[in-house]
Structure 1
Amino acid sequence: MSIDKKTLGSIAKFLAVFAVGLLLGTSLGYFLWHSASTTQTVSYVDKIKARGKLIVGTSADWPPFEYVDKNGNYAGIDIEIAKRIAQELGVQLEIKDMKFAALIEALKNGDVDIVIADMTPTAEREKVVDFSIPYYTSKGYAVITTAKSDIKSEQDLYGKKIGVQLGTIQEDWANNNLKGKAEIKSYDRVYPEMVWALQRGDIDAMIVGDKIAEALITKEPSLKIATYVSIPTIGGAVAVPQGAEDLKYVVNSVIEKLLESGEMNKIFQQEILKWLSSS
Protein backbone atom coordinates (compact mmCIF):
# COMPACT_ATOMS: atom_id res chain seq x y z
CA MET A 1 0.00 0.00 0.00
CA SER A 2 1.43 3.42 -0.93
CA ILE A 3 1.16 6.37 1.43
CA ASP A 4 0.55 9.85 0.02
CA LYS A 5 2.22 13.04 1.28
CA LYS A 6 -0.81 14.05 3.37
CA THR A 7 -0.85 10.71 5.16
CA LEU A 8 2.92 10.84 5.72
CA GLY A 9 2.44 14.27 7.28
CA SER A 10 -0.19 12.86 9.62
CA ILE A 11 2.11 10.02 10.59
CA ALA A 12 5.02 12.38 11.26
CA LYS A 13 2.84 14.64 13.42
CA PHE A 14 1.53 11.63 15.34
CA LEU A 15 5.01 10.25 15.99
CA ALA A 16 6.32 13.61 17.17
CA VAL A 17 3.58 13.87 19.80
CA PHE A 18 4.11 10.24 20.69
CA ALA A 19 7.68 10.78 21.94
CA VAL A 20 6.46 13.12 24.70
CA GLY A 21 4.38 10.39 26.32
CA LEU A 22 7.32 8.03 26.24
CA LEU A 23 9.56 10.52 28.03
CA LEU A 24 6.95 10.94 30.76
CA GLY A 25 6.85 7.20 31.18
CA THR A 26 10.62 7.07 31.71
CA SER A 27 10.75 9.32 34.77
CA LEU A 28 7.60 7.91 36.32
CA GLY A 29 8.82 4.36 35.98
CA TYR A 30 12.31 4.95 37.24
CA PHE A 31 11.39 6.73 40.46
CA LEU A 32 8.31 4.75 41.48
CA TRP A 33 9.00 1.18 40.52
CA HIS A 34 12.71 0.33 40.54
CA SER A 35 12.79 -2.24 43.36
CA ALA A 36 12.65 -5.99 43.96
CA SER A 37 11.37 -7.57 47.17
CA THR A 38 13.44 -10.08 49.14
CA THR A 39 10.33 -11.84 50.54
CA GLN A 40 9.71 -14.01 47.47
CA THR A 41 10.00 -17.76 48.02
CA VAL A 42 9.38 -19.11 44.48
CA SER A 43 11.72 -18.04 41.69
CA TYR A 44 9.57 -17.33 38.65
CA VAL A 45 12.64 -16.50 36.61
CA ASP A 46 14.23 -19.89 37.38
CA LYS A 47 11.03 -21.66 36.35
CA ILE A 48 10.92 -19.80 33.03
CA LYS A 49 14.59 -20.48 32.34
CA ALA A 50 14.18 -24.18 33.19
CA ARG A 51 11.24 -24.39 30.78
CA GLY A 52 13.23 -22.57 28.11
CA LYS A 53 10.48 -20.22 27.01
CA LEU A 54 8.54 -17.18 28.18
CA ILE A 55 4.78 -17.57 27.71
CA VAL A 56 3.16 -14.19 27.05
CA GLY A 57 -0.57 -13.56 27.03
CA THR A 58 -1.97 -10.91 24.68
CA SER A 59 -5.08 -9.98 22.72
CA ALA A 60 -3.97 -9.56 19.12
CA ASP A 61 -6.77 -7.23 18.07
CA TRP A 62 -5.26 -3.93 19.15
CA PRO A 63 -2.96 -2.62 16.41
CA PRO A 64 -0.40 -1.16 16.46
CA PHE A 65 0.23 -2.70 19.90
CA GLU A 66 -0.58 -6.31 19.02
CA TYR A 67 -2.11 -7.87 15.94
CA VAL A 68 -1.67 -10.66 13.39
CA ASP A 69 0.08 -9.45 10.25
CA LYS A 70 -0.69 -10.50 6.68
CA ASN A 71 1.77 -13.40 7.00
CA GLY A 72 -0.03 -14.77 10.04
CA ASN A 73 2.67 -13.65 12.50
CA TYR A 74 2.11 -11.79 15.74
CA ALA A 75 3.35 -8.23 15.40
CA GLY A 76 3.22 -4.86 17.09
CA ILE A 77 4.75 -2.74 19.83
CA ASP A 78 3.93 -5.11 22.68
CA ILE A 79 5.23 -8.11 20.77
CA GLU A 80 8.58 -6.33 20.28
CA ILE A 81 8.75 -5.59 24.00
CA ALA A 82 7.96 -9.25 24.73
CA LYS A 83 10.84 -10.27 22.46
CA ARG A 84 13.22 -8.03 24.40
CA ILE A 85 12.12 -9.55 27.72
CA ALA A 86 12.58 -13.09 26.39
CA GLN A 87 16.04 -12.14 25.12
CA GLU A 88 16.96 -10.75 28.53
CA LEU A 89 15.90 -14.05 30.12
CA GLY A 90 17.74 -16.06 27.45
CA VAL A 91 14.67 -18.06 26.45
CA GLN A 92 12.30 -18.53 23.52
CA LEU A 93 9.08 -16.54 23.23
CA GLU A 94 5.63 -18.13 23.01
CA ILE A 95 2.57 -15.94 22.40
CA LYS A 96 -0.88 -16.99 23.63
CA ASP A 97 -3.64 -14.96 21.98
CA MET A 98 -7.00 -14.66 23.76
CA LYS A 99 -9.80 -12.22 24.45
CA PHE A 100 -8.65 -9.21 26.45
CA ALA A 101 -11.12 -9.93 29.25
CA ALA A 102 -9.58 -13.40 29.76
CA LEU A 103 -5.97 -12.24 30.22
CA ILE A 104 -5.96 -11.53 33.97
CA GLU A 105 -7.53 -14.90 34.76
CA ALA A 106 -5.01 -16.66 32.54
CA LEU A 107 -2.19 -14.95 34.44
CA LYS A 108 -3.72 -15.83 37.81
CA ASN A 109 -4.11 -19.47 36.74
CA GLY A 110 -0.50 -19.72 35.55
CA ASP A 111 -1.47 -20.27 31.92
CA VAL A 112 0.87 -17.40 30.96
CA ASP A 113 3.95 -15.92 32.65
CA ILE A 114 3.19 -12.28 31.88
CA VAL A 115 0.57 -10.25 30.03
CA ILE A 116 1.52 -7.58 27.50
CA ALA A 117 -1.59 -6.12 25.91
CA ASP A 118 -1.51 -2.33 26.34
CA MET A 119 -3.02 -3.00 29.77
CA THR A 120 -3.60 -0.18 32.21
CA PRO A 121 -2.87 -0.80 35.90
CA THR A 122 -6.08 -0.20 37.86
CA ALA A 123 -6.94 -0.63 41.54
CA GLU A 124 -9.20 -3.56 40.65
CA ARG A 125 -6.55 -5.37 38.61
CA GLU A 126 -3.88 -4.70 41.21
CA LYS A 127 -5.92 -6.71 43.72
CA VAL A 128 -4.99 -9.89 41.84
CA VAL A 129 -1.85 -9.16 39.75
CA ASP A 130 1.20 -6.90 39.88
CA PHE A 131 2.37 -4.48 37.22
CA SER A 132 5.67 -3.27 35.81
CA ILE A 133 6.55 0.36 35.36
CA PRO A 134 4.51 2.00 32.56
CA TYR A 135 6.18 2.05 29.16
CA TYR A 136 4.08 4.93 27.78
CA THR A 137 1.24 7.27 28.77
CA SER A 138 -2.07 7.89 27.02
CA LYS A 139 -5.48 9.57 27.24
CA GLY A 140 -8.90 8.79 25.77
CA TYR A 141 -10.64 9.87 22.56
CA ALA A 142 -14.02 9.35 20.97
CA VAL A 143 -13.71 8.22 17.34
CA ILE A 144 -16.52 8.65 14.82
CA THR A 145 -16.98 8.39 11.06
CA THR A 146 -16.23 11.40 8.88
CA ALA A 147 -19.90 11.37 7.82
CA LYS A 148 -20.98 12.39 11.34
CA SER A 149 -20.83 15.94 12.66
CA ASP A 150 -23.07 15.84 15.75
CA ILE A 151 -20.42 14.72 18.25
CA LYS A 152 -17.98 17.48 19.19
CA SER A 153 -17.80 17.16 22.97
CA GLU A 154 -18.11 14.53 25.68
CA GLN A 155 -21.67 15.68 26.39
CA ASP A 156 -22.60 15.01 22.75
CA LEU A 157 -22.13 11.30 23.48
CA TYR A 158 -25.33 11.38 25.55
CA GLY A 159 -28.17 9.59 23.82
CA LYS A 160 -25.77 7.85 21.44
CA LYS A 161 -24.62 4.26 20.99
CA ILE A 162 -21.04 4.01 22.24
CA GLY A 163 -18.62 1.16 21.53
CA VAL A 164 -15.87 0.06 23.93
CA GLN A 165 -13.66 -2.98 24.21
CA LEU A 166 -14.65 -5.55 26.81
CA GLY A 167 -12.52 -5.50 29.96
CA THR A 168 -10.71 -2.21 29.24
CA ILE A 169 -10.29 1.04 31.15
CA GLN A 170 -12.43 2.64 28.43
CA GLU A 171 -15.30 0.26 29.25
CA ASP A 172 -14.95 1.07 32.96
CA TRP A 173 -15.04 4.79 32.19
CA ALA A 174 -18.11 4.44 29.97
CA ASN A 175 -19.99 2.41 32.58
CA ASN A 176 -19.14 4.95 35.29
CA ASN A 177 -19.76 8.11 33.26
CA LEU A 178 -22.21 7.30 30.47
CA LYS A 179 -24.47 4.65 31.98
CA GLY A 180 -28.06 5.85 31.77
CA LYS A 181 -26.98 8.65 29.44
CA ALA A 182 -25.87 6.58 26.46
CA GLU A 183 -26.20 3.02 25.19
CA ILE A 184 -22.91 1.22 25.80
CA LYS A 185 -21.94 -1.70 23.57
CA SER A 186 -18.91 -3.82 24.47
CA TYR A 187 -16.89 -5.69 21.86
CA ASP A 188 -14.28 -8.42 22.20
CA ARG A 189 -12.04 -6.85 19.58
CA VAL A 190 -11.44 -3.28 18.46
CA TYR A 191 -10.04 -4.09 15.04
CA PRO A 192 -11.78 -5.00 12.90
CA GLU A 193 -14.94 -5.86 14.89
CA MET A 194 -15.68 -2.53 16.59
CA VAL A 195 -14.33 -0.48 13.67
CA TRP A 196 -16.68 -2.29 11.30
CA ALA A 197 -19.59 -1.72 13.70
CA LEU A 198 -18.81 2.00 13.65
CA GLN A 199 -18.56 2.09 9.86
CA ARG A 200 -21.87 0.19 9.52
CA GLY A 201 -23.62 2.58 11.86
CA ASP A 202 -24.26 0.02 14.61
CA ILE A 203 -22.62 2.47 17.01
CA ASP A 204 -22.23 6.24 16.82
CA ALA A 205 -18.77 6.47 18.38
CA MET A 206 -16.11 4.33 19.99
CA ILE A 207 -13.89 5.19 22.94
CA VAL A 208 -10.20 4.21 22.63
CA GLY A 209 -6.79 5.43 23.78
CA ASP A 210 -5.20 8.29 21.86
CA LYS A 211 -2.42 6.14 20.38
CA ILE A 212 -4.97 3.71 18.94
CA ALA A 213 -7.22 6.56 17.79
CA GLU A 214 -4.41 8.30 15.89
CA ALA A 215 -3.30 5.07 14.27
CA LEU A 216 -6.85 4.11 13.26
CA ILE A 217 -7.76 7.43 11.64
CA THR A 218 -4.53 7.37 9.63
CA LYS A 219 -5.22 3.85 8.42
CA GLU A 220 -8.99 4.24 7.95
CA PRO A 221 -9.86 7.46 6.01
CA SER A 222 -13.53 7.08 6.93
CA LEU A 223 -12.78 7.71 10.63
CA LYS A 224 -11.93 10.85 12.60
CA ILE A 225 -11.39 11.93 16.20
CA ALA A 226 -14.48 13.67 17.56
CA THR A 227 -13.41 14.74 21.02
CA TYR A 228 -11.20 14.10 24.02
CA VAL A 229 -12.97 12.26 26.84
CA SER A 230 -12.23 12.73 30.53
CA ILE A 231 -10.50 9.41 31.17
CA PRO A 232 -7.56 10.12 33.53
CA THR A 233 -4.14 9.95 31.86
CA ILE A 234 -3.22 6.29 31.71
CA GLY A 235 -0.36 4.14 30.54
CA GLY A 236 0.34 0.61 29.40
CA ALA A 237 2.28 -1.74 31.68
CA VAL A 238 3.21 -5.42 31.79
CA ALA A 239 1.15 -7.56 34.18
CA VAL A 240 3.01 -10.19 36.24
CA PRO A 241 1.81 -12.66 38.89
CA GLN A 242 1.48 -11.32 42.41
CA GLY A 243 4.67 -12.00 44.33
CA ALA A 244 6.78 -12.55 41.21
CA GLU A 245 9.28 -9.92 42.31
CA ASP A 246 12.26 -11.41 40.47
CA LEU A 247 10.30 -11.52 37.21
CA LYS A 248 8.97 -8.00 37.72
CA TYR A 249 12.52 -6.79 38.34
CA VAL A 250 13.67 -8.24 35.00
CA VAL A 251 10.69 -6.73 33.16
CA ASN A 252 11.24 -3.33 34.78
CA SER A 253 14.93 -3.44 33.91
CA VAL A 254 14.17 -4.14 30.25
CA ILE A 255 11.60 -1.33 30.07
CA GLU A 256 13.92 1.13 31.80
CA LYS A 257 16.74 0.33 29.37
CA LEU A 258 14.44 0.72 26.36
CA LEU A 259 13.10 4.06 27.61
CA GLU A 260 16.42 5.53 28.69
CA SER A 261 18.25 4.51 25.51
CA GLY A 262 15.54 5.84 23.19
CA GLU A 263 14.97 2.33 21.81
CA MET A 264 11.35 2.34 23.02
CA ASN A 265 10.60 5.38 20.90
CA LYS A 266 12.16 3.63 17.89
CA ILE A 267 10.01 0.55 18.51
CA PHE A 268 6.87 2.69 18.58
CA GLN A 269 7.82 4.53 15.40
CA GLN A 270 8.80 1.40 13.48
CA GLU A 271 5.76 -0.63 14.50
CA ILE A 272 3.26 2.16 13.87
CA LEU A 273 4.69 2.79 10.41
CA LYS A 274 4.77 -0.94 9.67
CA TRP A 275 1.09 -1.32 10.53
CA LEU A 276 0.01 1.82 8.69
CA SER A 277 1.92 0.69 5.60
CA SER A 278 0.46 -2.82 5.61
CA SER A 279 -2.40 -3.74 3.34
Structure 2
Amino acid sequence: MKNVVSTGLAAISLLAATQAVAQDCTPQHQVTTVDEGFLTIAAPTFPPFSTPLSEDDVTGIDGEIVKEIAARECLKIKVEQVEYATAIPYVVSGRADLAIGNFYRTAERGKVVDMSLPLYIDQMGLFSRDGVATVSGLEGRPVGTVQGYLWVNELKKILGDDLRLYNNYVALYQDLESSRIEVAIDGMAIGTAAQQGGALTDIKLVVTEPDERVAASVAPPQAGLPMAKGNDDLLGAINEIVTDLHDSGRLTEIMVEFGMPGTATDVGEPRLVQ
Protein backbone atom coordinates (compact mmCIF):
# COMPACT_ATOMS: atom_id res chain seq x y z
CA MET A 1 0.00 0.00 0.00
CA LYS A 2 2.87 2.31 0.87
CA ASN A 3 4.45 1.67 -2.56
CA VAL A 4 1.15 2.45 -4.30
CA VAL A 5 0.82 5.73 -2.40
CA SER A 6 4.44 6.64 -3.15
CA THR A 7 3.98 5.86 -6.82
CA GLY A 8 0.81 7.94 -6.93
CA LEU A 9 2.50 10.88 -5.24
CA ALA A 10 5.42 10.64 -7.65
CA ALA A 11 3.05 10.68 -10.62
CA ILE A 12 1.23 13.72 -9.22
CA SER A 13 4.56 15.48 -8.65
CA LEU A 14 5.66 14.72 -12.21
CA LEU A 15 2.36 16.00 -13.60
CA ALA A 16 2.65 19.16 -11.52
CA ALA A 17 6.20 19.71 -12.71
CA THR A 18 5.15 19.23 -16.33
CA GLN A 19 2.31 21.70 -15.91
CA ALA A 20 4.67 24.16 -14.25
CA VAL A 21 7.05 24.00 -17.21
CA ALA A 22 4.16 24.62 -19.58
CA GLN A 23 2.91 27.52 -17.47
CA ASP A 24 6.41 29.01 -17.30
CA CYS A 25 6.70 29.07 -21.10
CA THR A 26 6.07 32.54 -22.49
CA PRO A 27 5.35 32.63 -26.23
CA GLN A 28 7.29 35.13 -28.29
CA HIS A 29 4.12 36.13 -30.15
CA GLN A 30 0.36 35.85 -29.86
CA VAL A 31 -0.75 33.57 -32.67
CA THR A 32 -3.91 31.75 -33.70
CA THR A 33 -3.57 28.15 -34.85
CA VAL A 34 -5.93 25.53 -36.27
CA ASP A 35 -5.98 23.70 -32.93
CA GLU A 36 -5.35 25.89 -29.89
CA GLY A 37 -2.11 24.99 -28.16
CA PHE A 38 -0.78 23.05 -31.15
CA LEU A 39 1.14 23.76 -34.33
CA THR A 40 -0.41 21.39 -36.86
CA ILE A 41 1.96 20.36 -39.64
CA ALA A 42 1.14 18.69 -42.96
CA ALA A 43 4.21 16.48 -43.33
CA PRO A 44 4.89 14.17 -46.27
CA THR A 45 7.71 11.64 -46.17
CA PHE A 46 10.33 13.49 -48.19
CA PRO A 47 13.85 13.17 -46.74
CA PRO A 48 16.00 15.02 -45.95
CA PHE A 49 13.34 17.72 -45.53
CA SER A 50 10.38 16.00 -43.91
CA THR A 51 10.19 12.66 -42.10
CA PRO A 52 7.12 12.11 -39.87
CA LEU A 53 8.01 10.02 -36.82
CA SER A 54 4.69 9.96 -34.95
CA GLU A 55 1.55 11.98 -34.38
CA ASP A 56 3.55 14.43 -32.30
CA ASP A 57 7.03 14.35 -33.79
CA VAL A 58 8.73 14.99 -37.10
CA THR A 59 12.31 15.37 -38.25
CA GLY A 60 14.20 16.42 -41.35
CA ILE A 61 15.46 19.90 -42.20
CA ASP A 62 12.00 21.48 -42.31
CA GLY A 63 10.87 19.32 -39.41
CA GLU A 64 13.58 20.65 -37.13
CA ILE A 65 12.82 24.21 -38.21
CA VAL A 66 9.13 23.94 -37.31
CA LYS A 67 10.02 22.36 -33.96
CA GLU A 68 12.12 25.45 -33.23
CA ILE A 69 9.11 27.60 -34.14
CA ALA A 70 6.72 25.59 -31.96
CA ALA A 71 9.07 25.73 -28.96
CA ARG A 72 9.37 29.51 -29.16
CA GLU A 73 5.59 29.88 -29.31
CA CYS A 74 4.96 27.34 -26.50
CA LEU A 75 3.04 25.10 -28.88
CA LYS A 76 2.95 21.31 -29.07
CA ILE A 77 3.53 19.61 -32.40
CA LYS A 78 0.69 17.81 -34.15
CA VAL A 79 1.70 15.93 -37.29
CA GLU A 80 -0.66 15.14 -40.16
CA GLN A 81 1.09 12.52 -42.29
CA VAL A 82 0.15 13.26 -45.90
CA GLU A 83 1.22 12.59 -49.46
CA TYR A 84 3.37 15.34 -50.95
CA ALA A 85 0.66 16.41 -53.39
CA THR A 86 -1.92 16.82 -50.61
CA ALA A 87 0.23 18.81 -48.17
CA ILE A 88 -0.71 22.27 -49.45
CA PRO A 89 -4.42 21.35 -49.89
CA TYR A 90 -4.35 20.39 -46.18
CA VAL A 91 -3.22 23.91 -45.38
CA VAL A 92 -5.66 25.60 -47.75
CA SER A 93 -8.60 23.64 -46.32
CA GLY A 94 -7.74 24.64 -42.75
CA ARG A 95 -6.63 21.22 -41.54
CA ALA A 96 -3.01 22.26 -40.93
CA ASP A 97 -1.24 25.48 -40.02
CA LEU A 98 1.62 24.91 -42.41
CA ALA A 99 3.25 22.36 -44.69
CA ILE A 100 6.85 21.19 -44.84
CA GLY A 101 8.92 19.49 -47.53
CA ASN A 102 11.12 21.87 -49.57
CA PHE A 103 8.26 23.86 -51.04
CA TYR A 104 9.55 26.46 -53.49
CA ARG A 105 8.53 30.08 -53.14
CA THR A 106 6.80 30.49 -56.50
CA ALA A 107 4.50 33.18 -57.84
CA GLU A 108 1.92 30.52 -58.74
CA ARG A 109 1.99 28.97 -55.26
CA GLY A 110 1.67 32.43 -53.73
CA LYS A 111 -1.80 32.70 -55.25
CA VAL A 112 -3.19 30.01 -52.92
CA VAL A 113 -1.00 30.18 -49.79
CA ASP A 114 1.22 32.63 -47.95
CA MET A 115 4.89 31.65 -48.04
CA SER A 116 7.31 32.35 -45.23
CA LEU A 117 10.59 34.10 -45.78
CA PRO A 118 13.14 31.80 -47.46
CA LEU A 119 14.65 29.04 -45.34
CA TYR A 120 17.32 27.82 -47.76
CA ILE A 121 18.04 27.47 -51.46
CA ASP A 122 17.69 24.22 -53.37
CA GLN A 123 21.06 24.17 -55.10
CA MET A 124 21.38 22.69 -58.58
CA GLY A 125 23.76 19.74 -58.38
CA LEU A 126 25.86 17.89 -60.92
CA PHE A 127 26.38 14.23 -60.01
CA SER A 128 29.17 12.37 -61.82
CA ARG A 129 32.20 10.19 -61.32
CA ASP A 130 34.65 12.88 -62.42
CA GLY A 131 33.20 15.78 -60.41
CA VAL A 132 32.28 18.07 -63.29
CA ALA A 133 31.09 21.41 -61.89
CA THR A 134 30.24 23.60 -64.89
CA VAL A 135 27.45 23.67 -67.45
CA SER A 136 30.08 23.96 -70.19
CA GLY A 137 31.58 20.72 -68.92
CA LEU A 138 28.34 18.92 -69.78
CA GLU A 139 28.45 19.64 -73.49
CA GLY A 140 28.96 16.60 -75.69
CA ARG A 141 28.23 14.15 -72.87
CA PRO A 142 25.13 12.02 -72.13
CA VAL A 143 23.35 13.91 -69.35
CA GLY A 144 20.07 13.25 -67.54
CA THR A 145 17.63 15.12 -65.34
CA VAL A 146 14.01 14.86 -64.22
CA GLN A 147 11.34 16.34 -66.47
CA GLY A 148 9.63 19.43 -65.13
CA TYR A 149 12.67 20.77 -63.29
CA LEU A 150 13.35 24.49 -63.55
CA TRP A 151 16.47 24.11 -65.68
CA VAL A 152 15.13 21.69 -68.30
CA ASN A 153 14.23 24.16 -71.05
CA GLU A 154 17.48 26.09 -70.72
CA LEU A 155 19.57 22.92 -70.78
CA LYS A 156 17.72 21.66 -73.85
CA LYS A 157 19.00 24.71 -75.74
CA ILE A 158 22.56 24.04 -74.60
CA LEU A 159 22.76 20.23 -74.71
CA GLY A 160 20.18 19.32 -77.35
CA ASP A 161 19.72 15.59 -77.81
CA ASP A 162 22.43 14.83 -75.24
CA LEU A 163 19.92 15.69 -72.51
CA ARG A 164 17.71 12.78 -71.45
CA LEU A 165 14.59 13.33 -69.35
CA TYR A 166 13.33 10.95 -66.65
CA ASN A 167 10.02 10.61 -64.84
CA ASN A 168 11.68 10.51 -61.42
CA TYR A 169 15.05 10.66 -59.72
CA VAL A 170 15.11 6.91 -59.02
CA ALA A 171 15.29 6.08 -62.74
CA LEU A 172 17.76 8.93 -63.24
CA TYR A 173 20.13 7.60 -60.58
CA GLN A 174 19.86 4.04 -61.87
CA ASP A 175 21.07 5.15 -65.30
CA LEU A 176 23.90 7.15 -63.74
CA GLU A 177 25.05 4.22 -61.61
CA SER A 178 24.94 1.88 -64.62
CA SER A 179 26.85 4.44 -66.77
CA ARG A 180 24.06 4.88 -69.32
CA ILE A 181 24.54 8.58 -68.63
CA GLU A 182 27.68 10.32 -67.38
CA VAL A 183 26.07 13.15 -65.41
CA ALA A 184 22.80 13.47 -63.51
CA ILE A 185 21.42 16.90 -62.67
CA ASP A 186 19.26 17.14 -59.57
CA GLY A 187 18.82 19.14 -56.38
CA MET A 188 21.76 18.73 -54.02
CA ALA A 189 19.48 17.80 -51.14
CA ILE A 190 17.86 14.87 -52.94
CA GLY A 191 21.23 13.55 -54.09
CA THR A 192 22.71 13.88 -50.63
CA ALA A 193 19.79 12.00 -49.07
CA ALA A 194 20.11 9.24 -51.68
CA GLN A 195 23.82 8.93 -51.02
CA GLN A 196 23.25 8.77 -47.27
CA GLY A 197 20.77 5.97 -47.97
CA GLY A 198 23.40 3.91 -49.79
CA ALA A 199 22.93 4.99 -53.42
CA LEU A 200 25.40 6.87 -55.64
CA THR A 201 28.30 5.30 -53.76
CA ASP A 202 31.05 6.22 -56.24
CA ILE A 203 29.48 9.46 -57.43
CA LYS A 204 30.68 12.98 -56.64
CA LEU A 205 27.96 15.51 -55.82
CA VAL A 206 28.95 19.05 -56.81
CA VAL A 207 27.04 22.35 -56.66
CA THR A 208 26.79 23.77 -60.18
CA GLU A 209 28.98 26.80 -60.78
CA PRO A 210 26.95 29.87 -61.85
CA ASP A 211 26.24 30.08 -65.57
CA GLU A 212 24.07 32.90 -66.90
CA ARG A 213 22.52 30.52 -69.43
CA VAL A 214 20.87 28.53 -66.62
CA ALA A 215 18.99 30.72 -64.15
CA ALA A 216 18.80 28.08 -61.40
CA SER A 217 22.59 27.95 -61.23
CA VAL A 218 22.75 31.72 -60.62
CA ALA A 219 19.66 32.23 -58.44
CA PRO A 220 18.54 28.84 -57.08
CA PRO A 221 14.90 28.53 -55.97
CA GLN A 222 14.21 29.43 -52.37
CA ALA A 223 12.16 27.14 -50.12
CA GLY A 224 9.68 28.38 -47.53
CA LEU A 225 6.82 27.25 -45.33
CA PRO A 226 3.35 27.42 -46.95
CA MET A 227 0.60 28.76 -44.66
CA ALA A 228 -3.08 29.54 -45.11
CA LYS A 229 -3.76 33.00 -46.44
CA GLY A 230 -5.03 35.58 -43.99
CA ASN A 231 -3.30 34.41 -40.79
CA ASP A 232 -1.04 37.45 -40.67
CA ASP A 233 -0.12 36.99 -37.00
CA LEU A 234 1.23 33.50 -37.58
CA LEU A 235 3.00 34.54 -40.78
CA GLY A 236 4.64 37.47 -39.03
CA ALA A 237 5.70 35.36 -36.06
CA ILE A 238 7.21 32.65 -38.24
CA ASN A 239 9.05 35.21 -40.37
CA GLU A 240 10.58 36.78 -37.26
CA ILE A 241 11.71 33.37 -36.01
CA VAL A 242 13.10 32.38 -39.41
CA THR A 243 15.08 35.63 -39.50
CA ASP A 244 16.50 34.87 -36.05
CA LEU A 245 17.37 31.30 -37.04
CA HIS A 246 19.37 32.72 -39.94
CA ASP A 247 21.06 35.42 -37.85
CA SER A 248 21.99 33.05 -35.01
CA GLY A 249 23.42 30.41 -37.34
CA ARG A 250 20.98 27.79 -36.09
CA LEU A 251 19.49 27.29 -39.55
CA THR A 252 22.94 26.58 -40.99
CA GLU A 253 23.55 24.10 -38.16
CA ILE A 254 20.36 22.25 -39.07
CA MET A 255 21.38 22.02 -42.72
CA VAL A 256 24.82 20.65 -41.82
CA GLU A 257 23.27 18.14 -39.39
CA PHE A 258 21.45 16.62 -42.37
CA GLY A 259 24.55 16.52 -44.57
CA MET A 260 23.80 19.64 -46.58
CA PRO A 261 26.30 22.40 -47.38
CA GLY A 262 25.98 25.36 -45.05
CA THR A 263 25.99 27.66 -48.08
CA ALA A 264 22.41 26.54 -48.76
CA THR A 265 21.25 29.06 -46.16
CA ASP A 266 22.81 31.96 -48.10
CA VAL A 267 19.41 32.76 -49.54
CA GLY A 268 19.92 36.37 -50.63
CA GLU A 269 16.95 38.69 -50.97
CA PRO A 270 13.48 37.07 -51.00
CA ARG A 271 12.34 36.26 -54.53
CA LEU A 272 9.70 34.17 -56.24
CA VAL A 273 10.13 31.70 -59.07
CA GLN A 274 8.03 33.11 -61.89
What interval of TM-score do these two structures reach, taking the shorter chain for normalisation? 0.5 to 0.7
Aligned mate of 1:258, from 237, 242, 245: 245
Equivalence for 1:276: none
Question: CA–CA distance in 1 between the matches of 2:38 and 2:131?
Answer: 50
Distance (whole Å) between structure 2 residues aligned to residue 77 and residue 150 of structure 1: 27
Amino acid in the other structure paired with 2:237: V
Match of 2:9 in 1: none
One-letter amino acid of the counterpart of residue 84, structure 2: F
Q: SS at 1:117's partner residue? A: coil
Distance 2:171 2:39 in 1: 29
In structure 2, distance between residues paired with 1:262 and 1:74: 21
Structure number with greater CO (CA < 8 Å, separation at least 6) is 1
Q: Which of 204, 225, 228 matches 1:224?
A: 204
- Residues 175 and 97 of structure 1, relative CA distance in 2, 3 Å threshold: farther
> Is 2:60 the partner of 1:76?
yes
Aligned pair partner of 2:120 in 121, 136, 140: 136
Q: Displacement, 1:160?
A: 4.6
Q: CA deviation at 1:88?
A: 2.7
Structure 2 residue identity aligned to 1:162: G
Residues 205-216 of structure 1 mapped to structure 2, 5 A cutoff: 205-213=183-191
- Please say if 1:124 is aligned against 2:108: yes
Measured on the aligned residues, the alpha-carbon RMSD in Å equals 3.8
Q: How many angstroms does 1:216 deviate by?
A: 5.4
Equivalent residue number for residue 48 of structure 1: 34
Residue matched to 2:16: none
**CA–CA distance in structure 1, aligned partners of residues 164 and 147 of structure 2:** 14
In 2 relative to 1, CA 196–107 (structure 1 residues): closer, same or farther, beyond 3 Å? farther
The answer to whether structure 1 residue 164 and structure 2 residue 150 are counterparts is no
Residues 32-111 of structure 1 aligned to structure 2 (within 5 Å): 45-50=31-36, 52-63=37-48, 65-67=49-51, 74-111=58-95
1:186: which partner in 2? 167
Shift of 1:165: 8.0
User: What residue in structure 2 maps to residue 153 of structure 1?
Assistant: 135
Structure 1 residues 96 and 143: CA distance shift in structure 2, 3 A: farther
Give the greater-gyration-radius structure (CA). 2
Counterparts of 1:120 and 1:129 in 2: how far apart (Å)? Answer: 12
Give the residue type in structure 1 aligned to 2:165.
I
For residue 236 of structure 2, give the secondary structure of its aligned residue in structure 1.
helix
Tell me how far apart the structure 2 counterparts of residues 68 and 195 of structure 1 sit (CA, whole Å).
Answer: 25
CA distance in 2, matches of 1:87, 1:207: 37
TM-score by length of 1: 0.61
Query: Deviations along 1:196-233, whole A, 9 cap, x unmatched?
Result: 56435676644333455466567743222367272132
Preserved CA contact (<8 Å) 1:49 1:91: no
2-structure distance, mates of 1:242, 1:124:
14
Distance in 2 of aligned mates of 1:150 and 1:83: 37
Whole-angstrom CA distance in 2 between matches of 1:67 and 1:240? 19
The count of aligned residue pairs is 216
Correspondence for 1:173 = 151
Q: What letter is aligned with 2:34?
A: I
Give the stretch that moved more between structures: 192-201 or 256-265. Answer: 192-201
Judge which range, 120-129 or 210-219, deviates more: 210-219
1:270, CA displacement in angstroms?
Answer: 2.8
**Structure 1: 5+ residue runs without aligned partners?**
1-42, 274-279
